[in-house]
Amino acid sequence: MSNRVVFSCRNVHVSVEGKEIVKGVDLEIRAGEKHALMGPNGSGKSTLAAALMGHPAYEIQGEIFLNGREITELSPDERARRGMFLGFQYPVAVPGVSVANFLRAAISARRGEEIPVRELRQKLAEAFKALDIPKSFMGRYLNDGFSGGEKKRLEILQMMLLEPVFALLDETDSGLDIDALKLVSEGINTVAGERMGLLLVTHYQRILNYVHPDHVHVFMKGRVVRSGGPELAHELEERGYDWLEPEAEAVATGGGA
């Protein structure tokens, strides 16, 4: 496993319409590492994910780095071109745009030049085969009429083709039944490699039965209140989040984790 830091953020605060939601977050993710960010609903996890990707509706303070270069002021599309990937909790449908055309445009934007048709066909064929996705997807409109599992598998396909240096998956397990969860998890494990860092945002431990994290961070009241290894996710599954409330309060009032 490489020791190279592919993503980090320092003292990140995020406000929405004047209300502070994220209250000072520090993360460091190295190539080949899988991190899980776990927390109850309403803790600010998805706000943090969107802000790290550059959502224009959020006011951000702090510093965000990708591959050692600061990206705090960059737009979402420029972050994506530089190798950052965000998997959405609820991917939107884009009627009229085929999956094949969308993928061609996305890969070309990531490269900074048009991908040759022959190379595109080969890459698509290899990726669809690796993730066991029917080739018929290519002719369908993006996420239009897709099931929850199909939408999430298509996002993992995008991740494979775009080859990001850092991927942030926001509640990828949301809305998936157990069979779809297994398929999506297999896809994540197939794509995640030694050169990519991964941050998986979730409030359930169940996806971590299939995608095994190296590090687990507990996010409550807009802050990381505890970090540990995979065993921390199992403890959360057994005990919930209430037992960490005093710790979250201590962090919120400056008492430390």
CA distance 87 to 113: 23
CA distance 187 to 173: 12
For residue 38, list its beta bridge partners.
202, 218
Q: What average pLDDT does range 47-73 have in this prediction?
A: 95
Q: What is the pLDDT of residue 174?
A: 86
**Residue-wise DSSP of 73-136:** T--HHHHHHTTEEEE-SSPPPEEEEEHHHHHHHHHHHHHTSPPPHHHHHHHHHHHHHHTT--GG
Q: What dihedral angle (degrees, nearest 10) is formed by the CA atoms of 101, 176, 210, 140? A: -20
List, in order of start, the domains of the chain with CATH numbers: 5-89+164-252 (3.40.50.300)
What percentage of the chain has pLDDT greater than the value 90? 80
Give the pairing type, strands 215-220 and 223-228.
antiparallel
For 94-148, how does the pLDDT look when each residue is reduced to its tens digit (9 = 90+)?
A: 999 999 999 999 999 999 999 999 999 999 999 999 888 999 999 999 999 999 9
For 81-98, how does the pLDDT look when each residue is reduced to its tens digit (9 = 90+)?
A: 999 999 988 899 999 999
> What is the chain's mean pLDDT, rounded?
92
**Single pTM value for the model:** 0.92
Work out the pLDDT band at 2, boundaries 50, 70, 90: low
For 217-237, how does the pLDDT look when each residue is reduced to its tens digit (9 = 90+)?
A: 999 999 999 999 999 999 998
